[in-house]
Structure 1
Amino acid sequence: MFDSHTAPASRWLQFVKESGRIATLWFAGVLLFMSFRVFFLIYFKDRITAQLDADAIFATLKAGFAFDSAATGVCFSIAFLLNCILQPMHLGHWVSKARLYTGRIFFIVTTLLCIVSVTYITEYGSQFNYFMLEGLKDDQQAIALTVVEQYKPWGSLLSLVILLALTFKINKVVDQKHYKFVNRLFTTCIYKRTILIILIVVLFVCAIRGSFETRPASRKWSAVTADAFVNNLVINPFRSFIYAIKDYNDLQSFGLNGHNPYLEKNLPTIENPLAAFEQKTNAPLLAAPSQVFFIVMESYDAWPLQQKYASLNLTNELSNLASKGIYLDNVLPAASSTMNSLSSLMSGIAYAGVNMSRIGPQKPTSKMSIFSQVEQLGYKSRFYYGGLLSWQNVGEYALSQGVDKVFSAVDAGGKGSAGVWGIDDGQLFDLVDKTTNDKSFNLIMSGSYHGPFNLDLDQYGYPFKSLADYPKEIQALGDDLLDPYVLGHLWYSDKMLGQFVRKMEQRYPDALFIITGDHYGRRYLHHQPDLYELTHVPIVIYGKGVNSNWVAKDQLASHMDIAPTLLNLIAPKNTEFYSMGQSLLNAPQKERTVFGFQTIRTETELWRGDLSSIYEYQKIDPLDKTRLSPNHKPEFKAVDSQTEQAYNQYMATAWHLLTRGMD
């Protein structure tokens, strides 16, 4: 009487039982990782400098669980997928073998990494990183002897043996477990089976993602507390080992030990690169302010400030500051992404296609670092970021460039309404307000004008609810305009910026403000932006005594010019400094050519793209800033050889300064 059901039921029950065994091993792996994390927190408690309350510890364990789940889930994914494929084919014994051997390999590797991580943290103060693989080039026998003599790892070896025996026992017990209760799940109903299969698959996917949320476990979300050491423990040894390999390979692929990629066109080799960038200040134009606020606005590009878009009133606050101070809109950012531009602004080294935030901390502080140079003038330096300091390694990078103190979303309660990226700009500026004191230089990186764009704009009085609310002349551009709700986040960032400047002005009447965008925003009002709108950011310098006539409004500039301009504004005469840019306070230089990464700008011409392959060209027409109708693209014009060689020399020097150092 079982003929019609026995075979299918057997395969069905074996699938469910194998899923249960895999889930049990997943749980054991997560428990192993979490146990070591708790052990690290207790064993290395002396390395924890911040006061951790119950919420901070819970946040650490919660974020750690996501990494543990993902690491374990990925390792057992092969066994799970084979279970889905082979069970219906009467090949369940191969599934059992795959799960058995996967479990053994996983627990051997995981236990070994966790045990070794104890010694590594003791020596380097962090889990596995780039330096780990550098040891492969050293005398490995000497390293082994040093470990034996210095750390006497007999206790670790004993722990390793005990844990391996325990995990092998768990693996064996799971393999022999019959899961009799699973028999209750037997059903001939195809719908019930389908629902159960979907549930198993969904749980499996969530396990390997480490999250039921929209974002999976990722390194950039690991800085959940105010203590850098605790944040480092959020990522388990297995995942940190994988990141270490990836970072090492990235560094190698960028040519850290190879040939300068910009010296392939008969350019001279780089010798004494700093010599060309040594400068001295003129007599200061301002008395040294008590506070300097260098504000880098997320995706704050130049186009919303143009006269032709003024009716939108998106950037009234910055426009107001620009009308009272120095305002430039012919400015090229260092890069097209936040971290790369920010790295250049911090270090003074132009972005040349190399990930500075990973390489920079492995090198001495740049002699062109803006933090180091303002500190010589008696300022305390601070860096504020509205997200987590683990994002793009930004916290470690800022410290590597000499900043005195870093602040992040953690210092302001953790999350704002934006959630994903950290605190809102209003909260960020409040944090700056609360922590500003003494004579300080404050570099602030905002973040609200960034996806997923989920602020409640009504509470701030944002006027545009639909495209019909746009001014008539804007509506005339077409029906396919940028969502006003998205633009509202730019409006909000600008509003918070204006409130902050006014508040600081009242508190510090002599404060100096320098404001720019990190890069062009990649969001445009219509779908026919010209090349200018696709590449430029503004610079505004505002404060007591700042005269707009000091710099011509049509002056060409780049991010690299901000630091030397600041020093020439406030530093004593003949102060020596290094910069790849130049002070904008010098005589007008209309014949100047400025560079950004894969971008070249002259007074009348603009190029963007890879000079070795395809790039765009535009002849600059001043009327483009006032007329709404998009201008037709001009005919292509090739970059002349002299300009191309100057660009390659500039980038070759930046590449050398980052990867080879200052010599």
Structure 2
Amino acid sequence: MLVDDSLSSSRWLNFIKESWKIFLLWLSGVLLLMSFRLFYLFHFSEKVSSDVTVKQLFDALATGFKFDSSAAGVCLLIPFLMNCFLQPFRLAHLVKYARNIIGVIYQSVFVILGVCGVTYISEYGSQYNYFMLEGLYDDQQAIISTAIQQYKPWGSLLSIVILLLYVLFWTRFVDRRNYSFLINLCPKSRAKKVILSILVIVVFICAARGSFDSRPASRKWSAVTTDPFVNNLVINPFRSFFYAIQDYGELNQLTTSNTNPYSVSEDKINNVLLNNETRSIGPLIEKPSRIFFIVMESFDSWPLQDKYRGLGLTENFHRLKANGIFVEQTLPAASSTMNSLSSLVTGIPFSGINMSRLTSKVDTYSLIHHMEKQGYTSQFFYGGLLSWQTVGEFMNRHGVDRIYSAANAGGKGSAGVWGVDDGQLFDLVSKSVPENSFNLIMTTSYHGPFNLDLSNSEYPWRNGVYPAQFQVMSDELLSPNTLGHLWYSDKMMGQFVDNMQRQYPDALFVITGDHYSRRYFHAKPNLYELTHVPILLLGQGISSKLSNRKVASHMDITATIMDLIASSDTPFASFGHSLVRSEIPENVFGYKTIRNSEYVWKQGNNEQFYGYRCTAKMDVKPPDQSVPIHEYQVYMAAAWQLLMKGFADD
């Protein structure tokens, strides 16, 4: 409408001038937020590690600019839309009124949050988080008195007043300027007006997203340096404030619920928890000097089947499994990385509650706690950024001694999206494994958008064509490029294990996938292929402890490690069953998934389980009445109860 020929040149000029004024208000908001970030870095410079490089600081400021642009753009969305749709109807006065009011309000909010952030960082060592809302349930008068006496915020109050006066002056200045130079810049032809209108809209959308890329400014991409404090300052006070409200709402909703969603009696839950308590039967091997627990991104079981062996995707895993304890039919704790990783760390099965911002008090289940009790220093290595799913904070809350991320390995790999490539991650681990260390490693390369350059690699299908015997499986096969990332991940893992075994012959390795990949070779995978990951344990003496288990779950890993290395009769608790003991559970469980020696069941969207027979006649569907739903409900009810009753907000 803005470029219709019937519109007068004055209305078109008003649109251009108003767009320019909105841009100036956007720019002032960005400069305000960036100024606060720079002030924080200077004022709290003692909190910044000396290891932080100039390049990392530049990356932090560049990423922070994206958040600042997004915050200012979103706040100015209403006047921008009003300018687009009301100018043609001679309603410029409404556009002006909205721009002035919103301009003052949003910049004032930036000022107040930015200045108050100085006091908040002084107290908590970080920008706004959900702790700030705990004051709603505390002695608020005492909190205010303490803040006044301890921080004497008179300088902050004076700063707020001065900056608010600046906001009023600047907003008025922007509004009253004539901007006559725009007259000469405005196009006269209709085509040029259309192009300029589209350009204005596109630029504003990109500003509000904080990026011209396909990925908008998001918290999970904020930890771009090796320093946690600098990473915390990447997100501006405005976004931090709203993230704090969001996090508090999620936590409050979870922790205020007293009703177990699995509707199981307390007696049955208590029986499960009591039966989970056990004692180690080992040590079954000589105590390893180093333990490597490798959790492979999307590394599932379907490529390990004989019918896909000719693809050569997991040759390193096949080679290694011949000398260890291997269970191909393993149910993951969850279908997403953070939920599975949380369960592996805490020992508590995923029951539908995201544990990334929760802390369990139940140390008797915690893998980290058990390893440290055995004399190991705990370390976590992640190929991405620690801000993803707040995984760095999660590991810190659960007692991990040393935490490493992509930032410690250069920040970006050749793919550049999820952090460093697996090869770079394993190189970092190789340089950071002291004696008596337990090393939890989370890889990232087998994850979209799959943009590793494999053209010069030894990947057999880099030319994009599968052999004829695989092409006949389906008209819709997974792309060779995607599977090349699985091949690369397997190759880097194999090289790392070989390297560590040469350096530390007594090392123990545990290798599994975080969850099934949701990517399959052809369009019609069976239920087994849709649900399973492998488990592999390697080390001196392991091959003599071959397991008779054909079916397992992620929850079996902690119990197995304890039996292998812990002193005899060491108490611990586990929802799983050790793979080196003779007893075999009738059923194993994952979230919404059940498995026994013959069948696998998966819960669908209608809360009903559907099944698949994995032995004998695989096309036979098991009878619905054989699904052990009640046992599953008790298992999940106990996991929910243990997590919620053991919640601590630190």
Partner in structure 1 of residue 332 of structure 2: 333
Partner in structure 2 of residue 659 of structure 1: 644
Alpha carbons of structure 1 residues 344 and 52: separation in structure 2 relative to 1, 3 Å: same
Q: 1:577 aligns with which of 551, 572, 576?
A: 572
Q: Distance in 2 between matches of 1:570 and 1:174?
A: 70
Partner in structure 1 of residue 594 of structure 2: 600
Q: Distance in 1 between matches of 2:193 and 2:375?
A: 71
Q: 1:376 aligns with which of 350, 373, 378?
A: 373
* Cα offset, 1:177, TM superposition: 1.3
Q: Distance in 2 between matches of 1:48 and 1:622?
A: 62
Partner in structure 2 of residue 12 of structure 1: 12
Partner in structure 1 of residue 151 of structure 2: 151
Partner in structure 2 of residue 350 of structure 1: 349
CA contact (8 A) 1:63 1:234 kept: yes
CA contact (8 A) 2:600 2:611 kept: yes
Matched, 1:394 2:391: yes
Please state whether the residue corresponding to 1:516 is helix, strand or coil: strand
Q: Distance in 2 between matches of 1:548 and 1:620?
A: 28
* Cα offset, 1:459, TM superposition: 2.1
Partner in structure 1 of residue 304 of structure 2: 305
Partner in structure 2 of residue 628 of structure 1: none
Q: Distance in 2 between matches of 1:48 and 1:364?
A: 31
Please state whether the residue corresponding to 2:348 is helix, strand or coil: coil
Q: 1:515 aligns with which of 511, 517, 536?
A: 511
Q: Distance in 2 between matches of 1:548 and 1:463?
A: 35
Alpha carbons of structure 1 residues 622 and 330: separation in structure 2 relative to 1, 3 Å: farther
Q: Distance in 2 between matches of 1:187 and 1:412?
A: 50
Q: Distance in 1 between matches of 2:259 and 2:558?
A: 26
Partner in structure 1 of residue 531 of structure 2: 535
CA contact (8 A) 2:30 2:68 kept: yes
**Letter of the structure 2 residue corresponding to residue 411 of structure 1:** N
Partner in structure 2 of residue 626 of structure 1: none
* Cα offset, 1:433, TM superposition: 0.7
* Cα offset, 1:268, TM superposition: 4.1
* Cα offset, 1:506, TM superposition: 0.6
Q: 2:476 aligns with which of 469, 476, 480?
A: 480
Partner in structure 2 of residue 105 of structure 1: 105
Q: Distance in 2 between matches of 1:479 and 1:619?
A: 25
Alpha carbons of structure 1 residues 485 and 420: separation in structure 2 relative to 1, 3 Å: same
Q: Distance in 1 between matches of 2:186 and 2:580?
A: 81
* Cα offset, 1:511, TM superposition: 1.1
Please state whether the residue corresponding to 1:460 is helix, strand or coil: coil
Give runs of aligned pairs for residues 144-293 of structure 1, distance below 5 A.
Answer: 144-253=144-253, 255-266=254-265, 268=267, 275-293=274-292
Q: Distance in 2 between matches of 1:413 and 1:241?
A: 30
CA contact (8 A) 2:613 2:619 kept: no
Matched, 1:637 2:589: no
CA contact (8 A) 1:225 1:231 kept: yes
* Cα offset, 1:185, TM superposition: 2.4
CA contact (8 A) 2:549 2:579 kept: no
* Cα offset, 1:20, TM superposition: 0.4
Please state whether the residue corresponding to 1:52 is helix, strand or coil: coil
Please state whether the residue corresponding to 2:211 is helix, strand or coil: coil
CA contact (8 A) 1:530 1:633 kept: no
Partner in structure 1 of residue 558 of structure 2: 563
**Letter of the structure 2 residue corresponding to residue 359 of structure 1:** L
* Cα offset, 1:510, TM superposition: 1.1
* Cα offset, 1:491, TM superposition: 0.5
Q: Distance in 1 between matches of 2:608 and 2:12?
A: 57
CA contact (8 A) 1:482 1:526 kept: yes
Please state whether the residue corresponding to 1:324 is helix, strand or coil: coil
Q: Distance in 2 between matches of 1:611 and 1:190?
A: 52
Give runs of aligned pairs for residues 16-27 of structure 1, distance below 5 A.
Answer: 16-27=16-27
CA contact (8 A) 2:331 2:552 kept: yes
**Letter of the structure 2 residue corresponding to residue 400 of structure 1:** R
Q: Distance in 1 between matches of 2:355 and 2:115?
A: 31
CA contact (8 A) 1:263 1:269 kept: no
Q: Distance in 2 between matches of 1:272 and 1:553?
A: 25
* Cα offset, 1:237, TM superposition: 0.7
Alpha carbons of structure 1 residues 610 and 245: separation in structure 2 relative to 1, 3 Å: farther
Partner in structure 1 of residue 408 of structure 2: 411
Matched, 1:546 2:542: yes
Please state whether the residue corresponding to 1:568 is helix, strand or coil: helix
What TM-score comes out, normalization by structure 2 length?
A: 0.95
Please state whether the residue corresponding to 1:459 is helix, strand or coil: coil
Alpha carbons of structure 1 residues 662 and 288: separation in structure 2 relative to 1, 3 Å: farther
Partner in structure 1 of residue 32 of structure 2: 32
Partner in structure 2 of residue 627 of structure 1: none
RMSD of the TM alignment (CA)? 2.0
* Cα offset, 1:263, TM superposition: 4.2
Runs ≥4 in structure 1, deviation > 6 angstroms?
none
CA contact (8 A) 1:616 1:636 kept: no
Alpha carbons of structure 1 residues 425 and 477: separation in structure 2 relative to 1, 3 Å: same
- Structure 1: give runs of 5+ residues left out of the alignment: 624-630
CA contact (8 A) 1:593 1:600 kept: yes
CA contact (8 A) 1:551 1:588 kept: no
Alpha carbons of structure 1 residues 273 and 292: separation in structure 2 relative to 1, 3 Å: same
CA contact (8 A) 1:368 1:579 kept: yes
Please state whether the residue corresponding to 1:357 is helix, strand or coil: coil
- Structure 2: give runs of 5+ residues left out of the alignment: none
Please state whether the residue corresponding to 1:284 is helix, strand or coil: coil
Partner in structure 1 of residue 466 of structure 2: 469
Give runs of aligned pairs for residues 116-155 of structure 1, distance below 5 A.
Answer: 116-155=116-155
Please state whether the residue corresponding to 2:72 is helix, strand or coil: helix
**Letter of the structure 2 residue corresponding to residue 175 of structure 1:** D
CA contact (8 A) 1:299 1:518 kept: yes
Alpha carbons of structure 1 residues 105 and 366: separation in structure 2 relative to 1, 3 Å: farther
